[in-house]
Structure 1
């Protein structure tokens, strides 16, 4: 039966469903995703080492030599550059970085031992040792696909996924390997591996392994012959998730309100509205496929497209012989052939994703989101960033070392000022006036007029250029408050510890500036004075509960100096005018292809991720700013 009459579902969808079900009663916790991504990338890099790199490793006379060479290679190729590029974001996360390094040591030893054993077997069979054979012996990031049918289903289901590694053992046996960095749900891990075994049955896979680094190595071997019952239960679950059982209704089952699940994605839970969208998405998919072939980027789709409020994400796997980096150069051709307003955002990670503008773009209204929970004593330090393609609200935690200050950039019309106003509204809605104070700086005099008179203001809105608006004085007052609080800390490492010790709120101070570059238009001496004070606050104010949210239309080296780059780790990038500006903020292009009106990238640790800003109406904003609307949790 052709794929047009099939429903596609991914292994990750099934695993996530099982994870959320098991984590309510079990001890499993998701790993730290960004460090986990780095760990996966590091292993993939080792397994795709060049012949020269392998020769260096294999020149050692003992297995300890191999371990040392492989660990050194892992650091030079991946871990070292990652630590340097993300030094500011990783500040204060020493324990997590140490765990990652321990896991790298465990993983390199494990791989070296596998390589050593394989070479010994090869040498026993013949006197010749060929390092190139490792490419076929140990495959990484293996795309898998399986069509499932059932008499009780209305149509087949195509199960797709990417196995971390596939190892060929002696006598032709195969072993599926999944790497897990951090504690997860064992039930979900087992089911995920069982699905991969099922998808590879035709390749004589008779054993499975889940290798975890927590950070020490933990290896669990599974006999494929004992998984039939598990696979039968998984098939029932797949039928329900794909909504193909004949007894089911025409609409997908709704997920529990208390637990986010993969079924909240449009390709699993289409409503009357998204059913119409799916027709347009299918057309987009066909156009994209044809355009990629024309660009010399022949590929296959991995899983179903994911529908977000702003864009549709297609995940593709390049055909054999097609370099992943080639996809980065085909954006302009895709824009022309598909008649897009902007080139698609193309990103390469564990897979290649291509984001195309949704035909019926949606907004994310304020009323549709669930605000972060507020603590009765501490309040809430989380800034609303936006809603991701999975429907979840992303926040930037000012109490976290990865996002204690934020740098925001976006051209006129991108939604930068609206994002700032919504960020302020989110903080006000989740805090009392005893827990939060706002310092608002409005160089263009249009962003924060509604804040005038708000009980949350530490001082009236600052309009640079007014006679009484001495910007140096504004920042000096914040520095004085910072030093006063440091004197109060008396051994406490953070504002939260001080609040706990005192048993009473101390307000978190958030300084928001709509157009930071305008402050730099004065004399050279004034510009130097302001930059020096911002740098001092950026480097030291976090522990005292004082935070900076600085925005600019045009990020450049003149306004975003090295000190600003280092001390403002959280980055929010809306649409920019050029790839150069995107690189200034994120170290890579991409923001120049965003779709305006709140479409944004957010980065704290790891690669930038895409979100849609929350839409806050004028009336809602005024009510929140005045203090008449406050979250029920406060």
Structure 2
């Protein structure tokens, strides 16, 4: 009897395992359509599995492969000298007591760039007493500068952040291999860096939904942008996310050329950049019209319905619907664009920032000149998420963050991140990605798509002899007859005034910079005016007599 006792459980366990395995295999089959579990899984996972849902109907979509994690190098961990940290904490306490401030060190956190010492104030000690001793604290700690959080949000303590003597490198490979990366699995979860506690920080552009980056030259803006773009390339296929890269500096975005994710080649001409932003506005409006027509509130609902096969063209229509991809517009230097076409650029950025979230179009705007002329109040009001790298003054910090603090940063990727849903800035050491790593990732995508087909008209450079339906970026949607009439009016204005000025066309014709610039380009193609010569008016090649003889 004793020997036979263990046998029944063995025979019971094995069939259960087999049945469980059979159930798991049979679940996706349409044998039991009444079960609710698969439906619940689709609804729950939808916001986090946009990437998987995009690899759908066409053979090409199913052929994309994501780059391996081995392309990104991970940094070696550096040991923390705990004795040195403890000694610096004691030095801080003694320095404050020497100035008559009663404090007690309650905690310390060693981050990649700075160490935060948390101090509890004695009875009757005012917070302002500590903040007034900022320079004395920096002197006592032999630091270039210190940042004081008075108080730390959510704690009855004051935080004093002191730069570390030896900084730790935070690589993009570290973030992409972290536990936080496994949770942040949306295609638009972009890597930002590590916080003071060593946790990886990701920002979801789909919920942010736009990001403003600013800081002085050499503070780490371009490295941060490269990390953001590379993190998108590591987890999103070209069918999920499309990019428009605007690079007036001409050297930062060149390495991403011929990438299948691009809607157009990296834009380096400020005039074409204004056209690209205007194209994004038109695309936004087209998507809103489609959502209204189909009865959906946003891109998530539309794509979910598309995946279920519920989106179909009408009986009398020959339209074919496609799954909406996300579009991320990256502007590396806003200052150059504002110098050339401030009104049009600001208007396009404002319209995208106000409305484009629901249709999956997101902006990342960077500048090294954080002044009110570049980061206008209208732009700030519509781009709530900001990342401030080191700046030179409190005024610059206020322009970016609406608060001081960025002037205390130590540079080389040290940043304050202000997410759109909070007014408390988070100190982060921005991550770093080597140029060779970026080239490996880009080459991986190029190998999968040797020939890249860009979307025509993004830069507004379509030839006037092309088909009539493919007009360029304009301030309004006009037909060919109105465009032809506008071109004739522009030609008459230029010839009779003998001045080839784009700004004159803006004033006289009541059009924006983008359309006036295109009209001037068409006049040049037709031999009416000469090429552009800096900021001077173009030479007019046709006389009034020749014009009247036409």
TM-score of the aligned structures, taking structure 2 as reference length: 0.60
CA distance in 2, matches of 1:272, 1:434: 36
Match of 2:433, SS state, is: coil
Distance apart, 1:293 and its partner CA: 2.2
Distance apart, 1:273 and its partner CA: 4.8
1:534 match:
349
Asked if 1:323 corresponds to 2:138, the answer is no
> Residues 295 and 609 of structure 1: is their aligned pair in 2 closer, same or farther, counting only changes over 3 Å?
farther
2:397 and 2:403 in contact (8 A); partners too: yes
Distance apart, 1:346 and its partner CA: 3.4
2:195 and 2:429 in contact (8 A); partners too: yes
Q: Deviations over 1:512-567 (max 9, x none)?
A: 11111121112xxx311211111111111111100110011121211122211111
Map 1:32-181 → 2, pairs under 5 A: none
CA distance in 1, matches of 2:380, 2:332: 17
Distance apart, 1:290 and its partner CA: 2.1
Distance apart, 1:342 and its partner CA: 2.5
Q: Given the alignment, which residue of 447, 455, 473 partners 2:275? A: 473
> Residues 583 and 295 of structure 1: is their aligned pair in 2 closer, same or farther, counting only changes over 3 Å?
farther
2:304 match:
500
- How many residues end up aligned between the 2 structures? 348
Asked if 1:364 corresponds to 2:166, the answer is no
Asked if 1:610 corresponds to 2:427, the answer is yes
1:412 match:
217
1:577 match:
392
1:204 match:
none
1:509 match:
327
1:281 match:
85
> Residues 475 and 628 of structure 1: is their aligned pair in 2 closer, same or farther, counting only changes over 3 Å?
closer
2:286 match:
484
2:415 match:
600
Map 1:141-540 → 2, pairs under 5 A: 273-275=78-80, 277-303=81-107, 305-348=108-151, 349=153, 350=155, 351-370=157-176, 372-373=181-182, 380-400=187-207, 403-465=208-270, 469-489=271-291, 490-503=294-307, 505-522=323-340, 526-540=341-355
CA distance in 1, matches of 2:78, 2:229: 32
Distance apart, 1:628 and its partner CA: 4.4
1:414 and 1:599 in contact (8 A); partners too: yes
2:21 match:
none
Q: Deviations over 1:331-355 (max 9, x none)?
A: 2111222221223343423321111
Match of 2:176, SS state, is: coil
> Residues 288 and 520 of structure 1: is their aligned pair in 2 closer, same or farther, counting only changes over 3 Å?
same
Distance apart, 1:297 and its partner CA: 3.2
CA distance in 2, matches of 1:455, 1:272: 35
Distance apart, 1:373 and its partner CA: 4.8
Distance apart, 1:443 and its partner CA: 1.4
Q: Deviations over 1:136-164 (max 9, x none)?
A: xxxxxxxxxxxxxxxxxxxxxxxxxxxxx
Asked if 1:587 corresponds to 2:402, the answer is yes
1:442 and 1:463 in contact (8 A); partners too: yes
1:582 and 1:590 in contact (8 A); partners too: yes
CA distance in 2, matches of 1:542, 1:316: 42
Match of 2:275, SS state, is: helix
Distance apart, 1:392 and its partner CA: 1.8
CA distance in 2, matches of 1:537, 1:627: 31
CA distance in 2, matches of 1:627, 1:494: 32
CA distance in 1, matches of 2:370, 2:142: 29
1:328 and 1:347 in contact (8 A); partners too: yes
Distance apart, 1:381 and its partner CA: 1.6
Q: Deviations over 1:426-483 (max 9, x none)?
A: 1111100000111111111222121111111111101125xxx423311111111111
1:455 and 1:627 in contact (8 A); partners too: no
1:310 and 1:358 in contact (8 A); partners too: yes
1:287 and 1:338 in contact (8 A); partners too: yes
Distance apart, 1:614 and its partner CA: 1.3
CA distance in 1, matches of 2:119, 2:184: 43
> Residues 374 and 545 of structure 1: is their aligned pair in 2 closer, same or farther, counting only changes over 3 Å?
farther
Match of 2:276, SS state, is: helix
In structure 2, the gaps of 5 or more residues are 1-75, 308-321, 448-550
1:492 and 1:498 in contact (8 A); partners too: yes
Map 1:1-16 → 2, pairs under 5 A: none
> Residues 491 and 295 of structure 1: is their aligned pair in 2 closer, same or farther, counting only changes over 3 Å?
farther
Distance apart, 1:629 and its partner CA: 10
CA distance in 2, matches of 1:273, 1:393: 17
Q: Deviations over 1:66-88 (max 9, x none)?
A: xxxxxxxxxxxxxxxxxxxxxxx
1:34 match:
none
Q: Deviations over 1:65-121 (max 9, x none)?
A: xxxxxxxxxxxxxxxxxxxxxxxxxxxxxxxxxxxxxxxxxxxxxxxxxxxxxxxxx
CA distance in 2, matches of 1:598, 1:347: 24
Distance apart, 1:369 and its partner CA: 2.1
The structure that has the greater radius of gyration is: 2
Distance apart, 1:272 and its partner CA: 9.8
1:599 and 1:610 in contact (8 A); partners too: yes
RMSD: 2.3
Match of 1:302, SS state, is: strand
Higher strand share: 1
CA distance in 2, matches of 1:375, 1:311: 25
